[in-house]
């Protein structure tokens, strides 16, 4: 069959692309009918008939946080429990992934648990251990649609529930020591390589970096006045971000925390990964250096 299509591509390109398009539709219909259709019906029935719901999420920590607007909305009418799948294998290689070859390992689970435990709309948060699951948020990866849109909306299309993404969906408290600082985290993944941070040296400011040590050392090559602080867990990270003058970073767990808190924030967007789009409060995203420097100065002067 592959040989036939290769031959068709040579002798009749128009016919080849028509066939390719029809095959794509056929595959997507098969995926929906075999994997998704019944699951969506089960979720719809659970929301309509149950007063307490178990949500499962086994993905990246950032993806998990972007599912919280949905859960927070549903918690207005239901008791909501969040079950976290640990050690689910990655389906592809991720550059510099903090949990190596799994989405969330035991260490990442222990770091994010205190943050989630402090969200009062979650009745219970724990590691998944074969409990009954009412809403499997992991199926967003199987949806036969492009996911190149706002991450939180992935989950809206699973549950058929929407909410206002301009409103906070995380709470935190002020940090005891670090206050009113410009806080950064630029992960080694998801970088925009049209961007550099050299211009920050023009500001008389001590910037606080809260990521991994190798990420800090890498950015320190560009930003001399950068200080390293390592939060003990993601709850403390949220406290540092909440207490900041504003947060600056690329697509990462830290930015998903800043987004959930709706603190003033500035996102380094990656051109081929537009999954994260700031909503609400004082926020900007940028693809190009000229706009990076412009928006940074606006937040700095405000």
CA distance 296 to 275: 21
- The residue with greater pLDDT, 19 or 291, is 291
Domain ranges of the chain: 2-159, 182-301
Mean pLDDT throughout 276-284? 96
CA distance 163 to 72: 9
The pLDDT of residue 94 is 60
- The residue with greater pLDDT, 135 or 59, is 135
CA distance 171 to 242: 9
In sequence order, which ranges of the chain are alpha helices (DSSP H)?
Answer: 2-11, 13-31, 37-49, 61-66, 68-74, 106-117, 151-159, 213-220, 234-242, 253-261, 289-301
Question: By three-state DSSP, how is residue 82 classified?
Answer: strand
Superfamily, domain 182-301: Glycogen Phosphorylase B; (3.40.50.2000)
User: For residue 126, what are the contacts with CB-CB under 8 A and spacing of at least 6?
Assistant: 81, 82, 83, 84
Identify the band that residue 243 occupies on the pLDDT scale cut at 50, 70 and 90: very high
Least-confidence region, from 239-243, 274-278, 295-299? 274-278
The model's pLDDT over 148-166, given as tens digits with 9 standing for 90+, comes to 889 999 999 999 999 999 9
The pLDDT of residue 18 is 76
Q: Is the pLDDT of residue 5 over 60?
A: no
The model's pLDDT over 79-93, given as tens digits with 9 standing for 90+, comes to 999 999 998 877 755
CA distance 101 to 83: 20
Identify the band that residue 28 occupies on the pLDDT scale cut at 50, 70 and 90: confident
The model's pLDDT over 109-146, given as tens digits with 9 standing for 90+, comes to 999 999 999 999 999 999 999 999 999 999 998 888 88
Percent of the chain with pLDDT over 90: 77
Residues 293, 294, 296, 300: is their CA dihedral positive or negative? positive
The model's pLDDT over 198-220, given as tens digits with 9 standing for 90+, comes to 999 999 999 999 999 999 999 99
CA distance 156 to 162: 5
């Amino acid at each position: 069959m592959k040989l036939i299509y290769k031959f068709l591509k040579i002798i009749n390109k128009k016919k080849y692309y028509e066939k390719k398009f029809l095959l794509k539709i056929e595959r997507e219909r098969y995926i929906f009918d075999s994997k998704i259709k019944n699951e969506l019906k089960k979720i719809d029935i659970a929301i309509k008939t149950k007063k307490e719901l178990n949500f499962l999420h086994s993905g990246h920590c950032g993806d998990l946080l972007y599912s919280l607007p949905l859960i927070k909305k549903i918690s207005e009418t239901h008791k909501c429990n969040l079950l976290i799948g640990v050690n689910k294998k990655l389906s592809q290689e991720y550059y510099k992934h903090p949990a190596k070859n799994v989405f969330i390992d035991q260490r990442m689970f222990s770091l994010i648990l205190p943050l989630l435990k402090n969200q009062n709309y979650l009745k219970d948060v724990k590691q998944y251990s074969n409990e009954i699951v009412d809403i499997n948020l992991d199926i967003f990866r199987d949806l036969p649609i492009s996911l190149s849109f706002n991450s939180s909306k992935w989950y809206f299309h699973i549950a058929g529930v929407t909410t206002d993404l301009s409103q906070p969906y995380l709470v935190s408290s002020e940090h005891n020591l670090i206050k009113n600082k410009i806080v950064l985290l630029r992960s080694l993944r998801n970088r925009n390589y049209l961007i550099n941070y050299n211009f920050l040296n023009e500001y008389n400011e001590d910037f606080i970096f809260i990521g991994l040590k190798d990420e800090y050392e890498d950015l320190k090559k560009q930003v001399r006045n950068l200080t390293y602080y390592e939060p003990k867990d993601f709850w403390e990270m949220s406290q540092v971000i909440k207490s900041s003058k504003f947060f600056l970073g690329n697509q990462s767990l830290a930015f998903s925390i800043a987004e959930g808190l709706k603190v003033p924030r500035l996102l380094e967007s990656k051109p081929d990964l537009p999954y994260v789009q700031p909503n609400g409060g004082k926020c900007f995203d940028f693809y190009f250096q000229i706009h990076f420097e412009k928006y940074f100065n606006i937040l700095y002067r405000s």
